[in-house]
């Protein structure tokens, strides 16, 4: 297979071939499944991922992926992925929930940060955080998010030619989550820059040290902010966390910083990447864009964009006991990766999964996970995307791509760092 240019890979191009010959079932012949290194970001740059996962689901829905002197399990089918998400008796998140971190020895925030904490501590922290992310709580900031979104889209449409990623998507979710955390306006550009470096990169030469440095900057920032909120608490999620007690003991400053770090990353990255994907999808599917402008429900369009975007391509768990998954026996201590980006296109669960249909219903995708670690910010992400699609529908007649979007460089995050676009204003 001759690799295509790194920035020219189009995940939405369902007809792209990975080989000239076909097997008896008409599926293009591919490399042996185990030759695809799922730890390498370039795997998701140089291959048609739909083709890859279709083959995996068919031939090896649960398989062992070797890595150095160890390895990890790969789950690709919807049914298996959902089962493990919901099974907190046999699988734990406390060693980490992202592949790279687990392969490096585990997450030092395990048992302290909500995303990598189970049991009573998880319930206590989530109870406090979740009250800020209910539809009722978010109604307090909904008007400001809607108006900010409409203003940003109006400015972009007036310019006509924009980079949708940097001039629209970058400006939306970071502002919303910073509003909830009462982060000063002057600090928000710094947090956005660090967020963008923490989980992905525009440059394949970026090292793990660069990402580590960005995460350290975020943690240092929140350590200082927490000290300020302890002295002068307000009506925001950071102040509320500072008052949390688990077994009669308050969270220490490091635990608070870790949970603020989780909030700012989760509240920004997934929505920003999904917003970029929305522009790309509608540019490549103008008939769906016309349906939206003609009155198709925005709510179902949001769900379909989220299914297609799947910004967090995987999450991971560690088996706490020996357990069967599909035809495989997973041993205690084994890392199990749950590939949302495959499960969301599983033909055994979704009808015509590789058709972008903004009226698809039901649409029970796993973009935000499942079970007791279901994404806390899912309601907020859907609200922000709804306001974005409404603003685009009302103010933009056509969305055109001026050149190929530039995909972020990551084995965890899918999305674009640049989407050169032309937005034709509505009359």
Report d(CA 13, CA 354) in Å as an integer: 10
Contact between 174 and 276 (Cβ < 8 Å): no
**pLDDT score of 196:** 83
Percent residues over pLDDT 90 in the chain:
76
| Cβ proximity of 410 and 44 under 8 Å | yes
- For the chain, domain boundaries: 6-425
In DSSP notation, 326-354 reads: TTEEEPTT-EEEEEHHHHTT-TTTSSSTT
Tens of pLDDT, residues 174-211: 999 999 899 999 999 999 889 888 776 676 766 778 88
For residue 8, what is the DSSP state?
G
Lookup: tokens for 312: 């967090």
What is the C-alpha to C-alpha distance for residues 10 and 3, in angstroms, rounded to an integer?
Answer: 12
CATH number of 6-425: 1.10.630.10
Q: Is the whole model's pTM more than 0.75, yes or no?
A: yes
pLDDT single digits (tens) 89-104:
999 999 999 999 999 9
In the predicted structure, residue 292 carries a pLDDT above the cut 50: yes
Give the mean pLDDT of 219-240. 92
**CB distance 93 to 373 below 8 Å:** yes
Query: In angstroms, what is the C-alpha Rg of the chain?
Result: 21
């Amino acid at each position: 297979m001759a690799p295509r240019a790194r920035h020219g890979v189009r995940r939405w191009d369902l007809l792209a071939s990975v080989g000239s010959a076909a097997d008896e079932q008409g599926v293009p012949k591919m490399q042996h499944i185990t030759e695809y290194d799922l730890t390498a970001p370039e795997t998701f740059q140089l291959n048609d991922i739909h083709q890859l996962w279709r083959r995996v689901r068919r031939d090896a829905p649960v398989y062992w992926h070797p890595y150095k002197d160890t390895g990890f399990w790969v789950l690709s089918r919807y049914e298996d992925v959902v089962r493990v998400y919901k099974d907190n008796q046999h699988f734990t998140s406390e060693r980490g929930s992202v592949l790279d971190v687990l392969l490096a020895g585990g997450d030092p925030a395990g048992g302290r940060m909500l995303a990598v904490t189970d049991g009573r501590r998880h319930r206590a922290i989530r109870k406090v955080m979740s009250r800020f992310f209910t539809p009722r709580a978010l109604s307090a900031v909904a008007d400001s998010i809607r108006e900010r979104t409409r203003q940003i889209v109006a400015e972009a449409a007036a310019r006509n030619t924009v980079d949708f990623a940097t001039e629209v998507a970058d400006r939306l979710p970071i502002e919303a989550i910073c509003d909830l955390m009462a982060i000063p306006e002057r600090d928000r550009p710094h947090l956005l820059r660090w967020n963008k470096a923490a989980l992905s990169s525009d440059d394949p030469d970026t090292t793990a040290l660069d990402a580590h440095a960005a995460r350290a900057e975020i943690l240092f920032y929140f350590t200082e902010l927490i000290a300020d909120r302890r002295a002068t608490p307000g009506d925001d999620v950071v102040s509320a966390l500072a008052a949390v007690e688990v077994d009669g003991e308050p969270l220490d400053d490091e635990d608070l910083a870790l949970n603020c770090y989780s909030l700012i990353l989760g509240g920004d990255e997934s929505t920003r990447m999904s917003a970029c994907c929305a522009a790309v999808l509608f540019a490549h599917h103008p008939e769906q864009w016309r349906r939206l402008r003609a009155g198709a429900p925005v709510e179902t369009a949001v769900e379909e964009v989220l299914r297609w975007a799947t910004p967090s391509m995987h999450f991971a768990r560690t088996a706490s006991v020996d357990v069967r998954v599909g035809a495989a026996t997973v041993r205690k201590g084994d890392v199990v990766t749950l590939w949302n980006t495959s499960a969301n296109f599983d033909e055994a669960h979704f009808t015509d999964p590789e058709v972008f249909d903004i009226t698809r219903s039901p649409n029970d995708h796993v973009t935000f996970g499942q079970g007791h670690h279901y994404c806390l910010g899912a309601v907020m992400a859907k609200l922000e995307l709804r306001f974005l699609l409404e603003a685009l529908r009302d103010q933009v007649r056509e969305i055109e791509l001026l050149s190929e979007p530039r995909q972020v460089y990551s084995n965890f995050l899918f999305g674009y760092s640049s989407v050169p676009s032309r937005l034709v204003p509505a009359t």
